[in-house]
Amino acid sequence: MYYNKEMIRVSFSALQRIRSKTSSTYRKQQKKLKLRIKLAVYGTIIVVSALCGLIAAHFYQAAATATANAPRTAKMAARQNADSDSSLSDHSTQDNPLFATSPSWSQNFTSQTSKLLDARYWNVLVGPAENSNNEQQYYTNNVANLRIENGALRLIASKQDQPGGYKYGSARIETQAKQTFLYGRIDIVAKLPSGVGTWPAVWLLPANDIYAKKSPESNLLRYKNGGEIDIIEAVGFEPDVMYGVAHTASDLSRRSDGTGQYSTVTVPGSSTSFNKYTLLWTPTSVTFAVNDKPYYTYARPQGADYATWPFDQPFYLIANLAMGGSWGGMDTAHYPGNGIDDSVLPASLDIRSIHYYPYVGAKDIK
């Protein structure tokens, strides 16, 4: 085949120019594309960095807020764990119109630094229980059994040899001849012990013997003439069950076992948290309440005398933690001998505060 060399040369030169032009255009387009990619990447990096900064600032602010609130949050949690009702704090007022707004007598153990009771108001008993309940404790004034710590007065029962062959030490305190009460509201913020064999109580006895003297000294039950009010009473074999009891000389005629007029209420967590136990005492009734909720009232009967209503005289306050006995030690089926589970000891009745608001209502009885 015949080829024209000049034509081939011209054609080849033209082709080279076309290729050169095309390559130049392609390179320009590639540079533009790379630039756009770089700009997009840089833009993405800037946006992501900004977002990261915003997120970091948010978490930093949240962490700072949590840190600032940590003490307050811890205090709130501690307060909620300490008791289930904010009214259980060291309150100094009440709003029942039958009683004074402010207390006339208070014992606040929440802020007391001394481990000792105020001797102006309290007697500490030393010796065995002076009753017929067959209790197993010997009361001491040792700090092992009675002390103030962690914002509470603690009456502690322990397994420890005591004088007279007693195997348990415990505590009993009272205000006899030092502080008396006649009508009024008494609030006691307390945490009870747990364990079979424990028998805690906070109660009132008459400050004088005016009614006891109405029976001959040969009558061993004549002390009942004066009455007794149990604001707090519980036994370990009935967990979280609280008794409010009004004892009178008529107990034996009303109940065969002579246990007095009473009712019970369940107080969940009574041994793990503080609760407020209240007596509302007027000239015509005694009412028992837990955390401001009344659960039992003993009313003055019509035509009452000392045998059915001895609660018109001054009383003094007692707090004690008994072990075993005729009621506290009834569970001998599980704990033969004395009905006490030694494994729960030491156990304590802890009292955080006591407030007495005098009665200001009418005193005339119709």
Which residues are known catalytic residues?
A: 228, 233
Tell me the helices (H) and strands (E) count for the chain, helix number first: 3, 19
Other beta carbons within 10 Å of 101:
12
Other beta carbons within 10 Å of 178:
14
φ, ψ (nearest 5 deg) of residue 59? -65, -35
Amino acid making up residue 321: L
d(CA 268, CA 245): 20
Through-space distance between the first and last CA atoms of the chain, rounded to whole angstroms: 148
d(CA 209, CA 227): 10
Q: Encoding tokens for residue 35?
A: 């630039």
Q: Nearest-CA neighbor of 277 among 191, 187, 185?
A: 187
Evaluate the omega torsion of the peptide bond into residue 346 and state whether it is cis, within 30 degrees of 0: yes
Other beta carbons within 10 Å of 353:
25
Q: How far is CA 254 from CA 84, 94, 194, 250, 257, in A?
A: 37, 35, 31, 6, 9
Q: Encoding tokens for residue 328?
A: 């506290």
d(CA 208, CA 218): 18
**173 CB-contact burial (10 Å; exposed 0-12 / middle 13-18 / buried 19+):** buried
> Which residues, in sequence order, are CB contacts of 291 under 8 Å at separation 6+?
84, 85, 87, 88, 275, 276
Q: Nearest-CA neighbor of 204 among 165, 169, 233, 238?
A: 233
d(CA 226, CA 221): 10
**215 CB-contact burial (10 Å; exposed 0-12 / middle 13-18 / buried 19+):** middle
